[in-house]
Structure 1
Amino acid sequence: MAGQYELINTLGADKQSPKIRVRVLHTWIDKRKYGDSREFIFADEQGDRVQATIKLSLCSRYEGKLVKNKSYLISDFSLINKYYNIMYKHCIGEYRINFGYNTKIREITFPNIPSDVFNFVPYPNIGDVSEDNKFLIDIIGSLISIGVLKTFTKDGEVKENVTLDLEDLCGLKLRCVLWGTMAHAILRYVKENVDGPYIVALQFAKIQYSNIGEIEVSNTLCSSRLLINDDIPELQDFRSRGCTCYDDLRKVEDHVYPTFKDACFALGLLDDDKEYIAGINEANEWASSDYVRRLFVVLLVANNMSRPEHVWECCWKEFAEDIAYRLHNIVPIQVHMCQTIL
């Protein structure tokens, strides 16, 4: 209890005539089999979220009385089951707020309620979300690849989507499929803002599985939110802890390496080629220098070495052991030929 107001996490069927003090975070029209409705996401001062429903038949009664980013005191509402007459669950609580004819709304000034609330799910934990993937999640990541807009017809309706890959701060990747207006929005943003990085957040994303059984996420038809490099603390924090330019990708312990491969080598992400260097040294003990040089060429063609230039620096003397002998044999022949001509 917060004074005379209920906190969202204390709402329950046993509460009589509860009052809540909340901010409107998000709103959309939900298309349903048994009738459309106006949906809201509210948040309180503790950062908890709850979904609220106004039947379309009552929307005119509350027209203009619930505005995004404004705070309200709301009372005389009922609580309904989180899944009643809806496909997806947007919030953690067991109940949704249902507006009735006599529900009271009064706008208030209460800056302690955050203007955005995210519950980002770590990539490894996405598969642990239960309830048959009906629970919508928030995800965030850096855009590392994006495909082209695909258009196709299904059940006589034209549909469009684009596939992209996000990466978290641990280097884990997540496939994301955006549909409709969100597909156009992210493609337009990338086209108009050529220089990255692009920090992307998808709020109220649904979980699905690809044709090969891999977890991926996508937007819902109405309620999902797409944010790209928005000026909000969550995205700024992700950017500050991640890379902000290509030099950052080549930086390891404050040292900027000349190539991405060198940086990966310094991080221990690539093999150190010791086995190839040892193999060349071993072959040099029983084989000719010509054979050792050919062995190096075979390794180059096979593209097995992580840093061929490093192997060269370690083994060039073995490759050149017979050069002095070859030059000794070639020079007298050239001198003899010159004397003959003269």
Structure 2
Amino acid sequence: MTTAMDMVNKINPEKEAWNLKVRVIRLWTVPIFTGQLLPNSMEMILVDESGCKIQATVRKTMIYKFKQLLSEGRFRTTVRDAICDFIPKSALTISPFTELLETNEDSDFLVDVVDLLVSMSKEKEYDKDGKKMKMAVMELAENDHRIRCVLFGEYVDEHNRFLSFGYAKLLVVVLQLAQVKVFRSLCVSYPCSLGRVGLQNVMFTSKLGFNIDIPEVAAFRKSFIPHGVSASQPISIVGS
């Protein structure tokens, strides 16, 4: 007898047990905040065949049990893999800039964007509560709209690593699970004409990619290359 599967958007508090067939599209470990390299929890984003997503958490006392059973791109029950080609692999829910620019307050709801990198700041050192980390700002473009995106820590390294290969034209950025921020001030020199609404990576959570071979990037290149940006326009460096 085949067990009926529940859909993510049907989950509610009325019962505790649900049968889900989902894919893990993002998996990360959150360390304890005492300076020790020990996991506090495992976090994951699950998506079902309809594209609905939900976050799931494995508490630190249960990590030992699930660590070997979970990996990005699939979801395993306690006894077997659930292999489903019909569940989307990237499951991006792209937020248009016109929608993001209407934000008035910081949001805890994380968003996905696919946009063109047109400029970036030089790397800076950011000091928060005595802890120093790398920081850089990207300017992303979508049609006539621009939004800046602040990167911290290892995301700056990832950004620099890709640019070091010499890709300097028509660089499409895929940023998954980013936070929408309303900036009160800027930490680096950058044009104030970009406005107060921006994006920021979430440590351990966000996923950053460049010129990824996925349908969303192909669609962006075909239909949403920003007005006034030519195919030969290089990335500019902003700020001292």
TM-score when scaled to structure 2?
0.81
Q: Mapping of 1:297-312 within 5 angstroms?
A: none
Query: How has the CA–CA distance of structure 1 residues 55 and 214 changed in structure 2, closer, same or farther, with 3 Å as cutoff?
Result: same
The residue type paired with residue 49 of structure 1 is K
The answer to whether 1:68 aligns with 2:41 is no
Question: 2:24–2:46: 8 Å Cα contact kept in structure 1?
Answer: yes
Question: 1:47–1:117: 8 Å Cα contact kept in structure 2?
Answer: yes
Task: Return the alpha-carbon distance in structure 2 between the equivalents of residues 117 and 130 of structure 1.
Answer: 27
Matched with 1:249 is 230
* TM superposition shift of 1:241: 2.1
Query: How has the CA–CA distance of structure 1 residues 22 and 152 changed in structure 2, closer, same or farther, with 3 Å as cutoff?
Result: closer
* TM superposition shift of 1:31: 4.1
Task: Return the alpha-carbon distance in structure 2 between the equivalents of residues 48 and 193 of structure 1.
Answer: 37
Matched with 2:163 is 190
Matched with 1:268 is none
The answer to whether 1:49 aligns with 2:23 is no
Q: Mapping of 1:52-201 within 5 angstroms?
A: 52-72=56-76, 74=77, 104=78, 106-128=80-102, 132-168=106-142, 170-201=143-174
Q: Secondary structure at the match of 1:173?
A: strand
Task: Return the alpha-carbon distance in structure 1 between the equivalents of residues 112 and 99 of structure 2.
Answer: 12
Task: Return the alpha-carbon distance in structure 1 between the equivalents of residues 130 and 12 of structure 2.
Answer: 44
Task: Return the alpha-carbon distance in structure 1 between the equivalents of residues 66 and 104 of structure 2.
Answer: 35
Matched with 2:25 is 25
Matched with 1:10 is 10
Matched with 2:189 is none
* TM superposition shift of 1:130: 8.1
Task: Return the alpha-carbon distance in structure 2 between the equivalents of residues 200 and 216 of structure 1.
Answer: 15
Identity percentage of aligned residues: 24
Question: 1:71–1:110: 8 Å Cα contact kept in structure 2?
Answer: no
Matched with 1:335 is none
* TM superposition shift of 1:210: 2.3
Gaps of 5+ in 1: 75-103, 251-259, 261-342
Task: Return the alpha-carbon distance in structure 2 between the equivalents of residues 17 and 194 of structure 1.
Answer: 48
Question: 1:129–1:135: 8 Å Cα contact kept in structure 2?
Answer: no
Task: Return the alpha-carbon distance in structure 2 between the equivalents of residues 132 and 145 of structure 1.
Answer: 24
The residue type paired with residue 181 of structure 2 is Q
Question: 1:140–1:200: 8 Å Cα contact kept in structure 2?
Answer: yes
Gaps of 5+ in 2: 186-194, 234-240
Q: Secondary structure at the match of 1:124?
A: helix
Task: Return the alpha-carbon distance in structure 2 between the equivalents of residues 42 and 167 of structure 1.
Answer: 29
Please identify which structure carries the higher strand content.
2
> Which structure has the greater CA radius of gyration?
1
Q: Secondary structure at the match of 1:200?
A: strand
* TM superposition shift of 1:129: 5.5
TM-score when scaled to structure 1?
0.58
The residue type paired with residue 28 of structure 1 is W
The residue type paired with residue 67 of structure 1 is S
Task: Return the alpha-carbon distance in structure 1 between the equivalents of residues 5 and 112 of structure 2.
Answer: 28
Query: How has the CA–CA distance of structure 1 residues 225 and 45 changed in structure 2, closer, same or farther, with 3 Å as cutoff?
Result: same
**CA displacement 1:155-182 (0-9 Å, x = unmatched):** 22111111110001x2210111111111
Matched with 1:215 is 197
Q: RMSD between aligned alpha carbons?
A: 2.8
Question: What is the aligned length?
Answer: 217
* TM superposition shift of 1:147: 1.2
